Structure 1
Amino acid sequence: MNAMVAVDESDWSFYALSWALDHLFINSPSTVEASERQEGDFWKVTVVHVTEPFHNFLYPAGTSGGAYYATTSVVESVKKAQEETAAVILSRALQICKDKMVQAETLTMTGDPKDVICQATEQMHVDLLVVGSRGLGMVKRAFLGSVSDYCAHHAACPVVIVKPPRESAATK
């Protein structure tokens, strides 16, 4: 079985990763005796992080109506910062997997997270997608959009949306 867990910098996505590891990987190879292992019995997890592409927008400059493109150095700096952030996020995710003795692979992609995640589930033939939920209400979700809601309706596989624990949702 092939599971994909989407993570970003939010605590909710890491909670979803921990939840998935605790509930899906009960019989991971590290917890089953070697004599009891059979090929194909275990879940494989891919942790995916999607970065938004940097758009070289025009920035208005004063009241004269002039505008400028971001310089090449600014674009390179932003891309480098995004790469470093992705590396930190995936390193944290891999450490959680290691602590729970589950082997995982990581994947960094660029684009609109909801579209890229759904495309990746189809291309990688994922059996289950796990995403976290920020716990937005109906009105906020309608205005802000929701990656988890979009994935639930458009992914090519079953989707588990892991809500934050009750005490976290109540403190908002």
Structure 2
Amino acid sequence: MEVEKKIIVMAVDESEESMYALSWCLNNIISVSQQNNCTSNTTLVLLYVKPPPPAYSAFDVAGYMFRNDVVAALEEYTSKLVDSVMSKAQAVCMKSNIKIKLEKKVGSGDAKDVICGTVEKLGANMLVMGSHGYGFVKRALLGSVSYDCAKRVKCPVMIVKHPKNT
């Protein structure tokens, strides 16, 4: 009898809330599964979504042409941010001492679209996300990635609130 492969997608970003949610996932979902011997075929996918690259016009508002070094500097900054977030997430995983297959994926674009698309493409069994704890006004202006994803994906979604946001 073949054991079903399970995929848990964990959306990560540079926020404290995201790293708390990752730690919570490891300690409350993965560790419980390990105690029940259910993690041998489980993969935790760390998903970071880069903002879409800005659409540069040939000239900025002052009429100066964007120089290639400015564009290159922005791309380098984004690359360093991705490395930093993934390193932080991997450190949280190592600190937990929980053995799990780990994959890292980086997408680019609108966060809710990339997250939902990745969950669907991978056939994930669960999506775990942190909540930034925005109030009504901020959420109305900025939108809520976690709320949108919870409505759109077909698998269970765990939205983890940081204790400081409760």
TM over 0.5: yes
1:130 equivalent to 2:131? Answer no
From 76, 80, 83, give the equivalent of 2:76: 80
Q: Contact conserved, 1:56 with 1:69, CA < 8 A, in 2?
A: no
- Which AA in structure 1 matches 2:99? V
Within-5 A mapping of 1:140-151:
140-151=138-149
- Which AA in structure 1 matches 2:133? G
Per-residue CA deviation, residues 76-115 of structure 1 (Å, 9 max, x unaligned), is 1111110111011101101111222233111111111111
Within-5 A mapping of 1:84-95:
84-95=80-91
Q: Contact conserved, 1:53 with 1:110, CA < 8 A, in 2?
A: yes
- C-alpha distance in 2, partners of 1:145/1:69? 33
The percentage of aligned residue pairs carrying the same residue is 35
- C-alpha distance in 1, partners of 2:64/2:99? 48
Superposition deviation, residue 158 in structure 1: 1.5
Within-5 A mapping of 1:47-66:
47-58=46-57, 59-61=60-62
Q: Gaps (5+ residues) in structure 1?
A: 62-66
TM-score, structure 2 length as denominator? 0.85
> Which one has a bigger Cα radius of gyration?
1
Q: Give 3-state SS (helix, strand or coil) of 1:24's partner.
A: helix
- Which AA in structure 1 matches 2:85? I
- C-alpha distance in 2, partners of 1:145/1:27? 33
- After superposing on structure 2, the runs of 4+ consecutive aligned residues of structure 1 that deviate more than 3 Å are none
Per-residue CA deviation, residues 23-66 of structure 1 (Å, 9 max, x unaligned), is 1112566x68xxxx57x7553201010101221434211xxxxx
Q: How many residue pairs align between the two structures? A: 157
Q: Give 3-state SS (helix, strand or coil) of 2:31's partner.
A: coil
Q: Contact conserved, 1:129 with 1:157, CA < 8 A, in 2?
A: yes
> Which position in structure 1 is the counterpart of 2:160?
162
Q: Contact conserved, 1:28 with 1:42, CA < 8 A, in 2?
A: no
- C-alpha distance in 2, partners of 1:155/1:92? 26
Give the stretch that moved more between structures: 106-115 or 94-103: 94-103
TM-score, structure 1 length as denominator? 0.82
Superposition deviation, residue 127 in structure 1: 0.6
From 114, 118, 121, give the equivalent of 1:120: 118
Within-5 A mapping of 1:25-36:
25-27=30-32
